[in-house]
C-alpha cells in the first residue's frame, strides 16, 4: 500500500489519540511529511522498538505499540505454557500510556502481567522478570534519546534483552497482525479487576536494592563523600538516592531542575550522560556545594556518567575510563580483602577499551569480548550460571556508560554503578587522589589508550538509504590503508569472517552474525563501523594508543580524516 493510501487509512481509523488525529490533519497535502511517516513499518529487533513519537507506521504510537505487543503475545503463547510478563516504564512522553496499552493486550491474550505502579529503571525491570520467573518483559523507554523519541525494550525469560532468534520470530508474528483490526485487547481496568494485571508492590524494589547492596566492595567507605546527582528528569531519582543512603552516604545534593520526572527534558534536550550538556545544571550547582563528584544517570537509569575534580575544574570521564577504573578497583580490592573467586571472568564489548586487556592480565582475570549490546554480557553470565559458576563473574561493561557488577540482573545497571563509583571515589580520596589522577596513573602504567566515537546521523527514509549505502560501500571497497598505516586485517561480522589482507587467509569469527565491520591497523590502532541498534545513525569507533593524549589524539584525527574522505563526507 502506498504512503498516501496508508495516510488516508490512518485518518479514518487512528482516532483514539487526539494528538495523532491533529498531527495527521496538520500534514494533509504535504507529501514529504506523509512519506516520512509511512515509508516503512517500525522494525522490531533485539532492542525492541524505538522511534519518534507521532502518527504513522514508522512512529511510536498506541497503534504500533499494540501491533508489536500482539505479535509478542502470540510468540509467548506459541512457545510457553501460561506465560507471564513484567512491565515497567520511564518518564518519557506517553510512556505510562504505552505501558498500560501493552499490559491490556497481554492480559487479553491470557498472559499474566506484573506492572510497576510508577516509573522504575530498566535494571529493575530486568530484575522483575527474574523475580517473577516471567517468560518476558517490556520496558517502555527510549533510553538516552531526545524527548521526541520513545521505545519498547523487550526481554526474554533470563532477564536479558531479546535474542536475535526470538526477535525474528516476534517479527514474523507482528507481520501477521493487522494494525487496526488484528489486536485482541481489553480495558486496562478490566485486566486489573480480573487479576490478569497485578500491580507490583514495594517488596520487589526492596529485594532489588538488597542485591545491589551486596555488590559493595568496601561497604560504608563513602559516608563522608559529597555528591551532586542528577537523574536527568528520569527514573534514577529514588533508587539511586536509596542505595547511596543504604551505604551511609547522606551528603547527596540533587539538581533541583532535573529531579522530578519530565519527558520534555527542558534543561537537558539530549539526556545522555555521555555529553557535557547533560551536566550543565550540576556544574552550575557545584561551586555552592563543593562536591567530590558529579553523577548523572540517563532517563531509564541504565547508564551513568561522572565528572571529577582536576584542580579547580570538573572533568567529564569517558565510559571507557570509568569502566577501566572500576575493573581495576574491583580486582585490586577484592583480592586485598580475600573475596576473590577462582578463575575470575570479566566481560567487555568489542568496541570497549583495549586497556581492559592490560588490567585483566595484571590481576589474572579472563577477559571475554562480545558483540555490542549488553544482552551479550548478560548471556555470558547465563552461561556461567548454567554451570553453577556465576561467582566467577566479577564485572562487565561497555564503552557507552553501561556497567554491571553481580548477576542479579542481566542488563546494565546505573544504580549499582553509582554505588561503586562513589565507593571508588571515596577509597581514592582517602589516599589523597581524585579519580582523574587515578586514571592518569593507569595511563602512565599501561600506555595512553584513546577511544573516540564518530556519529553519522541517518534519520528518515533518506537517512536509512544513506546508512545502507555506507555499509555496502565499505563492504565493496574497504580501506587497505588509513592515515599512512596498512590495514592488517579486516573483519565482517555479518559474514563471521576475518581476512588477513597480506596473505588473504580467512578465519572464522566465533560470535553471532552482526552488521559490523572492523579494521586492525599497524601499530595497534583499530576502526570499527556499525549501525546503531537503538538510534538512526552509523557509529564509527576509533582506538589509538600513544605516548600521551596529544599523540593518541593526533592519530585519531588522521584516521577520522581518511574515513571521512573514504565515505565522501
What residues act catalytically? Answer: 143
- Residues 422 and 325: their CA atoms lie apart, in Å, by 12
List of residues 6+ apart from 285 with CB closer than 8 A: 228, 253, 255
The owner of cell 548478560 is: 378
- Residues 207 and 150: their CA atoms lie apart, in Å, by 28
Looking at the DSSP assignment, which residues form a beta bridge with residue 491? 498, 518
Among residues 264, 265, 241, 263, the alpha carbon closest in space to that of 253 is found at: 241
- Residues 105 and 183: their CA atoms lie apart, in Å, by 8
List of residues 6+ apart from 320 with CB closer than 8 A: 352, 353, 355, 399, 449, 451
Crossing angle between the packed helical segments 414-429 and 319-336, to the nearest 10 degrees:
70
- Residues 563 and 479: their CA atoms lie apart, in Å, by 9
CB 536 within 8 Å of CB 467: yes
CB 49 within 8 Å of CB 60: yes
Residue 340: count of CB within 10 angstroms of its CB: 15
Distance between first and last Cα of the chain: 35
Residue 363: count of CB within 10 angstroms of its CB: 17
Amino acid at each position: 500500500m502506498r504512503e498516501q493510501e496508508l495516510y488516508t487509512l490512518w485518518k479514518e481509523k487512528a482516532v483514539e489519540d487526539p494528538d495523532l488525529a491533529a498531527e495527521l490533519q496538520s500534514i494533509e497535502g504535504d507529501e514529504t511529511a506523509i512519506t516520512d511517516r509511512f515509508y516503512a513499518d517500525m522494525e522490531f529487533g533485539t532492542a525492541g522498538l524505538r522511534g519518534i513519537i507521532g502518527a504513522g507506521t514508522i512512529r511510536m504510537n498506541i497503534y504500533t505499540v499494540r501491533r508489536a505487543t500482539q505479535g509478542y503475545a502470540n510468540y509467548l503463547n506459541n512457545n510457553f505454557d501460561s506465560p507471564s510478563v513484567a512491565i515497567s516504564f520511564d518518564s518519557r512522553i506517553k510512556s505510562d500510556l504505552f505501558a498500560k496499552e501493552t499490559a491490556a493486550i497481554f492480559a487479553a491474550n491470557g498472559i499474566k502481567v506484573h506492572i510497576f505502579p510508577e516509573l522504575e529503571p530498566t535494571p529493575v525491570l530486568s530484575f522483575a522478570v527474574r523475580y517473577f520467573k516471567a517468560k518476558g518483559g517490556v520496558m517502555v523507554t527510549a533510553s538516552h534519546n531526545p524527548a521526541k523519541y520513545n521505545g519498547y525494550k523487550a526481554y526474554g525469560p533470563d532477564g536479558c534483552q531479546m535474542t536475535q532468534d526470538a526477535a525474528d520470530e516476534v517479527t514474523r508474528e507482528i507481520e501477521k497482525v493487522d494494525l487496526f483490526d488484528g489486536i485482541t485487547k481489553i480495558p486496562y481496568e478490566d485486566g486489573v479487576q480480573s487479576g490478569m494485571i497485578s500491580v507490583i508492590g514495594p517488596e520487589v524494589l526492596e529485594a532489588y536494592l538488597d542485591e545491589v547492596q551486596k555488590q559493595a566492595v568496601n561497604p560504608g567507605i563513602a559516608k563522608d563523600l559529597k555528591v551532586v546527582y542528577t537523574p536527568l528528569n528520569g527514573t534514577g531519582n529514588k533508587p539511586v538516592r536509596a542505595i547511596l543512603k543504604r551505604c551511609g552516604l547522606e551528603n547527596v545534593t540533587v539538581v533541583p531542575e532535573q529531579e522530578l520526572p519530565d519527558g520534555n527534558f527542558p534543561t537537558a534536550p539530549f539526556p545522555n550522560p555521555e555529553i557535557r550538556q547533560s551536566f550543565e545544571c550540576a556544574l552550575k550547582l557545584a561551586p555552592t556545594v563543593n562536591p567530590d563528584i558529579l553523577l548523572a544517570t540517563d532517563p531509564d537509569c541504565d547508564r551513568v556518567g561522572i565528572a571529577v575534580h582536576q584542580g579547580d575544574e570538573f572533568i567529564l570521564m569517558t565510559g571507557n575510563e570509568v569502566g577501566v577504573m572500576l575493573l581495576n578497583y574491583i580486582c585490586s580490592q577484592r583480592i586485598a580483602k580475600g573475596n576473590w573467586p577462582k578463575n575470575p571472568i570479566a566481560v567487555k564489548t568489542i568496541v570497549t577499551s583495549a586497556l581492559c586487556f592490560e588490567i585483566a592480565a595484571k590481576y589474572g582475570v579472563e577477559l571475554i569480548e562480545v558483540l555490542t549490546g549488553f544482552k551479550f554480557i548478560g548471556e555470558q553470565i547465563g552461561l556461567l550460571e548454567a554451570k553453577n559458576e556465576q561467582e566467577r563473574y566479577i564485572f562487565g561493561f561497555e564503552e557507552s556508560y553501561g556497567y554491571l557488577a553481580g548477576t542479579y540482573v542481566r542488563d546494565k545497571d546505573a544504580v549499582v554503578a553509582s554505588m561503586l563509583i562513589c565507593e571508588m571515589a571515596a577509597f581514592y580520596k582517602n589516599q589523597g587522589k581524585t579519580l582523574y589522577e587515578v586514571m592518569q596513573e593507569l595511563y602512565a602504567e599501561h600506555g595512553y589508550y584513546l577511544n573516540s566515537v564518530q556519529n553519522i546521523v541517518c534519520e528518515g527514509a533518506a537517512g536509512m538509504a544513506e546508512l545502507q549505502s555506507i555499509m555496502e560501500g565499505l563492504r565493496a571497497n574497504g580501506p587497505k590503508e588509513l592515515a599512512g598505516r596498512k590495514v592488517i586485517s579486516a573483519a565482517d561480522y555479518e559474514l563471521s569472517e576475518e581476512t588477513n589482507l597480506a596473505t588473504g587467509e580467512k578465519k572464522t569469527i566465533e560470535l553471532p552474525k552482526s552488521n559490523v565491520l572492523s579494521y586492525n591497523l599497524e601499530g595497534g590502532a583499530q576502526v570499527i563501523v556499525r549501525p546503531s541498534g537503538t538510534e538512526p545513525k552509523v557509529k564509527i569507533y576509533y582506538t589509538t594508543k600513544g605516548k600521551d593524549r596529544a599523540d593518541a589524539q593526533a592519530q585519531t584525527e588522521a584516521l577520522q580524516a581518511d574515513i571521512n574522505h573514504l565515505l565522501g563526507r
